[in-house]
Amino acid sequence: MSTKDILILTMVKGMGPATIKKNIHRLKSDINAYDLIRELKPVELENLSTYENDADIIISICQKEGIEIIDITSVAYPSSLLEISNPPAVLYVKGNKKLIEKVIIAIIGTRHSTELGNRIAERLGGYFSQRFAICNGLVEGIDEHSIYVNEKVVPNTIGIISGGLCYKSTCSQNHIRVIEDVLKAGGLIISEYPPMKKEDQYSGSASSRIQAGLSLGIILVQSKIDGGSKYTLDKFVKLGRVVGIVNFPTNPEYQDSIFEANRLIVKEKKCGLAKFVGLKTGKTLNVKAIIPITSKDDYKKFEDELTMQSTQSNLF
């Protein structure tokens, strides 16, 4: 099945990412999308010509704008992302595509970060970007501070955005600035949305699962107990990977509510992590390790766990 046919499947009502993954063998064996639509959503066949035309328009825009489409059957599609239950059927990418071949970590936290949180995020981003790719949503707060050191974007930055890659039309002005800085620094921007799709209130939480799927390790820098980072961690804690939690008890600010999620997870470990992401028990979690990060010695512990994880996954 061609990339165009897979694009068509993403437009079929009721045929979401989980259904497409479930039928990935058909995507690899069928000549086109017709038979699968006929079997699963026959009422949608009347819209097939419209979907074909829309797919042609998307492909044309991508060719004009230097956007590459990687479909779920491609050898270039990240194998780690296939481990989530509902991976995007297509990824739209712009920039240095080779970064998705590196070991990737996500550095995440609140949009309403403090000076302490920002300093920690900058140190983590500066350190880990020298060897690994750093992945996040490029939004204000911890995300942004983890990729900027001395006002310059660190190397090996991957941004997952919640709008289409014609970003000047689909994203906010501040987001446009950060995206362009990442691209100028040799980074990569990824979206699951067609190039002209504007950001909305739902697309951000959906794209967080891509961060989780791509990343072999994740570091929570700063979050309240009801912070949005729980959406990324909720997907991540089911994948058997490495979790780092910033732990800075010697600083009085660490006792504030802005670090409440960090304190809970450091204290209660799997049970605390389960509470943060909204699970009833830690028994349902699948994490390789939870590492409190207090100093650079702990950076090394996290790095060693990540190296072992990547070796086992044949990704390092």
Tens of pLDDT along the chain (316 residues) come to 999 999 999 999 999 999 999 999 999 999 999 999 999 999 999 999 999 999 999 999 999 999 999 999 999 999 999 999 999 999 999 999 999 999 999 999 999 999 999 999 999 999 999 999 999 999 999 999 999 998 899 999 999 999 999 999 998 888 899 999 999 999 999 999 999 999 876 666 778 999 999 999 999 999 999 999 999 999 999 999 999 999 999 999 999 999 999 999 999 999 999 999 998 877 889 999 999 999 989 999 999 988 887 666 654 4
Q: Which two tokens stand for residue 16?
A: 């979401």
Domain locations along the chain: 3-67, 97-312
Which residues lie closer than 8 Å to 244 by C-beta, 6 or more apart?
217, 218, 219, 220, 291, 292, 293, 298, 302
196: left (phi over 0), alpha (psi -120 to 50) or beta: alpha
Question: Rounded CA gap, 162 and 201, in Å?
Answer: 9
Q: What DSSP line would sit under 96-124, residue for residue?
A: -GGGGGS-EEEEE--SS--HHHHHHHHHH
- As a CATH number, domain 97-312 is 3.40.50.450
Q: What's at 310, amino acid-wise?
A: S
Backbone angles phi, psi at 77, to 5 degrees: -70, 130
* Overall pTM > 0.85: yes
